[in-house]
A and B are shown apart, each in its own frame.
Chain A
């Protein structure tokens, strides 16, 4: 049975179990009119039965999904000729790949060795058997679970409390999945980074000013020294983020002040959705806006003024990234400004302050921690932004403070390092993980500080 069919069947069984459980509870006390004799509402008995029917069976399905490939591989390898089994892991996995391809129908049976064909044959048989077994087991577990729960129903059974506990566990499970995934990702990035730092010293990575990850394939190749000094990338990231913040912070902040303090309600209801649309534009759209519109425009303007502007420049990428971040800054600042209690404004007006004095000296002052937090979050977005810089900032790792030149960023380099065929243990590929780790640490630090600042601010006006 297909897994999706199996899950549908399980759902149906659970629905039936719900009805049966509910019915049994009612029947035990003698009909709906006596349902007060039950500890819990009848629906809870139904729910409990349904959960016992569905949940353990789902665990079986999930377990099978996770394990079947490994079990099948082990069984198939076991049957292979001793010569094949003795192959080193790399070559063995190539053989297994052939087997899988044959099973999936990607290659014709004539083009493989008889051993592989035999293994594929076996694979198919085992797979079919496994599916049958897993389906049977799942259904058995579902029926047994449902039946046991149904049997245990008595009028005094605190079904409501049981359901509560199960709900709590399910919620806990979901949050564990999120947490474990995060930890897993962090650990794997950390692990690969350590591999990288075995090949390239940390000091060279952090302080080196030469970034040229191309490795020489032939000894006489020029320009492929394989230098991994990340300073130009950090500098490029910093430059572009700085330009972006230079645009986004003033514009976003002033827009927020206007919206929160001056704008009429009509204008507000009009402007807010527009800002939200701006925030909803996919970054790749901003990216080609930057590459196809802004960059040529800058180049043209530069020519008029007699400036040398590269086709791909930090300025173009930074400008567009700034525009992208404006709604982010303005909506956060707007929230913070609106959260300043009216009583503070009244107090200031009551002392004879004008509106702009009140905003400058009281409202912004009160909202400042929140706004700072918002700006930090915005910076961490700018640092992590990829699409715009990939399209508009260029690939050349120049160490420069000139915004008119092409620079490259950490994110762009990660993309270029991982695009294309690479050996997984070459320093070039591993460098991407080290860069990812740096990026992760920086944004993590920014976010922690920002959240701390925002939280402290929130407590102030509870």
Chain B
């Protein structure tokens, strides 16, 4: 029984890629005594969109928050195993967490613009990292970030209005603009569309496709259609285990693990 279970939990599919940005090896996370993810190993390639899917509570967000060490802010969270970014162990003592988070940005489930103006929201990251030499340069960073997030045309006349006054979809694109303003290598997105309507969702999905030119994107999603639309690779999680990884098309047309198949065919979720 135990053996069978272990076999059942073994990751199916190729976890490695030829040219990884991020490598996770044997990552375990527990909150206090409660394990959240177990022995997850996964590579993430340059300029790919990788989707993480699975039932609620299976540890998708937890893994995502390991990649920029946001779990450090949760008391009681313990991460073991190794995660490297461009070959550097990000849980190394020498690692500067602040710098890491500038390189691995994050977009959250609920749009969370700061209670500041649209401009100041985007300028926040460049300001704290001193990325702009002067006002003109900062203006430019803000403008290009908003343009890349596909929001510029909508907000260029109201840069001084509060970011919280935008619509939900605009707020989420503002958060994306805010993230790309610090030029990260990787953008983590934790269910970025779950609070949005279908039209706003479609805009974000288009945006993700464009952003792939410049960034690596890990997206957690509840929607299998969304995973199919935006990602090249998909990872399926189940109760804290990475069950199956593979090219998105293959996973959706021909899942190899029974749990993956059950999930995709809607037997649970």
Binding site for B on A (CB under 8 A): 265, 341, 343-354, 357, 361-362, 365-366, 460
Cβ–Cβ contact B114 & A365, under 8 A: yes
Cβ–Cβ contact A351 & B105, under 8 A: yes
A344 to chain B, nearest CB (A): 6
The answer to whether the Cβ of B99 comes within 8 Å of any Cβ in the partner chain is yes
Cross-chain contact of A352 among B101, B112, B115 (Cβ < 8 A): B101
Cβ–Cβ contact B101 & A350, under 8 A: yes
Chain A residues closer than 8 Å to B101, beta-carbon distance: 349-352
B132 to chain A, nearest CB (A): 14
Q: Give CA–CA (A274, B116) in the complex, Å.
A: 35
Q: List 14 A-B contacts (CB under 8 A).
A: A341-B112, A347-B106, A347-B178, A349-B70, A350-B68, A350-B70, A350-B105, A351-B125, A351-B179, A352-B99, A353-B124, A357-B128, A361-B128, A460-B115
Q: Give CA–CA (A125, B188) in the complex, Å.
A: 91
The answer to whether the Cβ of B108 comes within 8 Å of any Cβ in the partner chain is yes
Cβ–Cβ contact A366 & B115, under 8 A: yes
Chain B residues closer than 8 Å to A349, beta-carbon distance: 70, 73, 101
Cross-chain contact of B175 among A265, A347, A357 (Cβ < 8 A): A347
Cβ–Cβ contact B112 & A346, under 8 A: yes
Cβ–Cβ contact A343 & B128, under 8 A: no
Chain A residues closer than 8 Å to B17, beta-carbon distance: none
Q: Give CA–CA (A341, B164) in the complex, Å.
A: 14
Of B101, B110, B129, B178, most buried by chain A (CB within 10 Å of CB) is B101
Q: Give CA–CA (A345, B114) in the complex, Å.
A: 9
The answer to whether the Cβ of B102 comes within 8 Å of any Cβ in the partner chain is yes
Q: Give CA–CA (A351, B113) in the complex, Å.
A: 12
Q: Give CA–CA (A346, B71) in the complex, Å.
A: 10
Chain B residues closer than 8 Å to A352, beta-carbon distance: 98-102, 125, 128-129, 182
Q: Give CA–CA (A341, B109) in the complex, Å.
A: 13
B235 to chain A, nearest CB (A): 21
Q: Give CA–CA (A362, B164) in the complex, Å.
A: 13
Q: Give CA–CA (A361, B125) in the complex, Å.
A: 11
Q: Give CA–CA (A265, B106) in the complex, Å.
A: 28
Chain A residues closer than 8 Å to B73, beta-carbon distance: 345-346, 349
Q: Give CA–CA (A362, B125) in the complex, Å.
A: 12
Known A351-B101, A351-B128; judge A343-B106 contact (CB<8 A): no
Cross-chain contact of A347 among B75, B98, B108, B182 (Cβ < 8 A): B108
B64 to chain A, nearest CB (A): 11
- Beyond the given A351-B128, A353-B124, could you list 15 further A-B residue pairs with CB under 8 A, ordered by the A residue number? A343-B112, A347-B106, A347-B112, A348-B114, A350-B68, A350-B70, A350-B101, A351-B124, A351-B178, A351-B179, A352-B182, A353-B98, A353-B125, A354-B98, A357-B128
B170 to chain A, nearest CB (A): 16
Cβ–Cβ contact A343 & B68, under 8 A: no
Known A351-B101, A351-B179; judge A346-B108 contact (CB<8 A): yes
Q: Give CA–CA (A362, B127) in the complex, Å.
A: 13
* Binary A-proximity of B169-204 (CB < 8 A = 1, otherwise 0): 000000100110010000000000000000000000
- CB-nearest residue of chain B relative to A265? B75
Chain B residues closer than 8 Å to A347, beta-carbon distance: 106, 108, 112-114, 175, 178
Known A343-B108, A350-B105, A350-B108; judge A460-B164 contact (CB<8 A): yes
Known A344-B112, A361-B128, A365-B116; judge A350-B179 contact (CB<8 A): yes
Q: Give CA–CA (A346, B101) in the complex, Å.
A: 11
- CB-nearest residue of chain B relative to A457? B115
